[in-house]
Chains A and B, each alone.
Chain A
Amino acid sequence: MTLHASLRVSRAGFSLELDLDIEAGEVVALLGPNGAGKTTALRALAGLVGSSSQITHNGSTWDGLPAEKRPIGVVFQDYLLFAHMTALDNVAFGLRARGTRKAEADTVALHWLGQVGLGDFARAKPRTLSGGQAQRVALARALATSPELLLLDEPLAALDASTRLRVRSELGRHLQDYPGHTLLVTHDPLDAMVLADRIVIIEDGRVVQQGTPRDVVRQPRTDYVAHLVGLNFYRGTAHGTEVRLDEGGTLTIAEPAEGPVHVVFPPSAVSLFTEKPAGSPRNSWQAVVSGIEQHAHTTRVELDGNPPVLADITTATVAELRLQPGDALWVSLKATEIHTYPR
């Protein structure tokens, strides 16, 4: 069973045109920069924003249905747990609203609290819960009504880094068990890579790329995606083993290709020298250091040249080269490290 959504939302200065198909049991991540329309898409699916969207599922259409009539569950970014209710009442709320008797609703709610490991917190008020616990109550509340479509709006964004790691893996487990359709909205590529079966990337209200996490990581199609996955990314025209880059510069590749291509290589494949490296069938060109950024175990150097490039080098190399912004260096890159794919 597939959920088809053709989302059309327009308001002053912004329009969203997004066609989404989500299979039962599939987790689709909607990834994009701030203001790309991710949350708007989620709100259109939930029926919280006026739109001329078409949504069909299992022969029924959701167009024009208000939020309360749609078989959905939503986990909001800051959870929006009802502060005056206990965790149990929060989770039971959706069932009660849909007409389940109190005793039965409480039983189901307690089961879901147990599922997320919070069986002992049934009587707790939301303000006494930690961020991770509140997130799990929000998930239990969304799942308790057995929705067809689960919508997650940046479900991990409000958590601190150490909690996020643990909650992410728990969330992944629950999403695997959930039989319905899941849409995860996030700006964190790691959330999308770990949790989603398929990633849809939108910029300015339009899809720019979609595919499995593996495809997206290996073959980014826009600067935004390349930046997210941390690759050097260019557009060019291949002719045999030579690629002429649109922004200037030429690269030699190992696998021959023809026509318009995307070119990627990891910053760790780039080497930096003070002298022109001698011989060998390598790519080498001159570039000027424009930025230096310390990462955990490497240093990322940003270089202006033809083409500009990012290089990850070891701290030892930084010390050896005594790098300063403005330094002129030779960039060298093995042809076998470069990956091309058709545009």
Chain B
Amino acid sequence: MRSRLPVVLVLPAIAGLAFLLVPLAGLLIKAPWATLPSQLFSAEVGQALRLSLICASLATVVCLVLGVPLAWLLARSDLPGRGVLRALVTVPLVLPPVVGGVALLLVLGRRGIVGQHLDQWFGISLPFTTAGVVLAEAFVAMPFLVISVEGALRAADPRYEEAAATLGASRWLTFRRVTLPSVMPGVIAGTVLCWARALGEFGATITFAGNFPGRTTTMPLAVYLALETDPDAAIVLSIVLLLVSVAVLAGLRDKWISGPS
């Protein structure tokens, strides 16, 4: 028989578990269940929820359109300095989002390096707009997609692409019909992670896009603001975000949670 589990390990483990789970349980316990439906469908919550879903989805589309080709480039090309590029791409992953927001302001702000030209030539101003929210979310979320897709691409056997070439397929056709379908699980996982990250984005969004209800106030911003004025609304919004997170985890169950068995 195995000896008893050592207390030195078990006690902190239980404390750790409680530390992670109790706040979530608290959220559910304190939820205003009676008024929840009306809260959920109230104008402010509905507005924030709709804006969040739209912005996160648009940001995910941006990430897919730019991120999948980037992942392909990192995985397949013989670009010099590919390792450095790969490291740079992951910087937003560890960068505090607020710093990301500041960086975006410096580049795309009204007086930013690129932003001033956008403003002068095209009359486009991105900060403090819904488009700004999408950009901020995409900036923070894209590395999740790139890393996931690049990993899948590197694991995929490039000889299938050679086989496609011998059958007369161009690189683009090969990518669409052979490479992409074979890495689809990685693309889906990356998309879900990317979307979830975009949905929860706070720091970069509030820095770059500010807080204008209906235009830039996404759910995480709404939660933070509601905490001052309407705590019940904050709880309802939090529960919605919690449910989304759980749903994402459930969706990625096979890929991320099961672990090595």
Chain A residues packing against B (C-beta within 8 Å): 46-48, 66-70, 72-74, 76, 80, 82-84, 93-94, 97-98, 141-142, 145, 151
Contacts and interface: CB of A to CB of B under 8 A. Distances in A.
A97 B169 contact: yes
Nearest to A46: B166
B168 A82 contact: no
A48 B166 contact: yes
A80 B179 CA distance: 13
B89 to A, nearest CB: 27
Given A48-B162, A72-B166, A80-B157, 20 more contacts: A46-B166, A48-B165, A66-B165, A67-B166, A73-B166, A73-B167, A76-B159, A76-B163, A80-B159, A80-B160, A80-B163, A82-B160, A82-B177, A82-B178, A83-B182, A84-B182, A94-B167, A97-B169, A141-B167, A151-B166
B170 interface: yes
6 contacts: A46-B166, A48-B166, A67-B166, A68-B167, A73-B167, A97-B164
Contacts of B166: 46, 48, 67-68, 70, 72-74, 142, 151
A68 B182 contact: no
- The bracket for how many chain B residues form the interface is 10 to 19
A157 B121 CA distance: 64
A54 to B, nearest CB: 20
Contacts of A68: 165-170
Nearest to A99: B168
Contacts of B162: 48, 67, 80
A74 B168 contact: no
B88 interface: no
B181 interface: yes
Nearest to B165: A67
B182 A94 contact: no
A145 B168 contact: yes
A145 B167 contact: yes
B160 to A, nearest CB: 5
Contacts of B18: none
Contacts of A151: 166
Contacts, number: 59
Nearest to B171: A68
B93 to A, nearest CB: 30
B91 interface: no
B156 to A, nearest CB: 11
A94 B167 CA distance: 4
Contacts of A84: 181-182, 184
A94 B173 CA distance: 11
Nearest 7 A-B pairs (CB), nearest first? A94-B167, A97-B169, A67-B165, A80-B163, A74-B166, A97-B168, A84-B181
Interface in B136-166: 157, 159-160, 162-166
Interface in B160-213: 160, 162-170, 173, 177-178, 181-182, 184
A94 B165 contact: no
Nearest to A74: B166
B231 to A, nearest CB: 50
Nearest to A73: B166
A83 B169 CA distance: 17
Contacts of A98: 168
Given A48-B166, A84-B182, A97 B160 contact: no
A73 B173 CA distance: 18
Contacts of A70: 166
A142 B166 CA distance: 9
Contacts of A73: 166-167
Interface string B88-118: 0000000000000000000000000000000
A70 B168 CA distance: 7
A47 B170 CA distance: 13
B155 to A, nearest CB: 14
B169 A93 contact: yes
Contacts of A97: 164, 167-170, 173
The interface centre, meaning the residue of A67, A70, A151 with most chain B CB atoms within 10 A of its CB, is A67
Contacts of A142: 166
Contacts of A94: 167-169
Contacts of B170: 68, 97
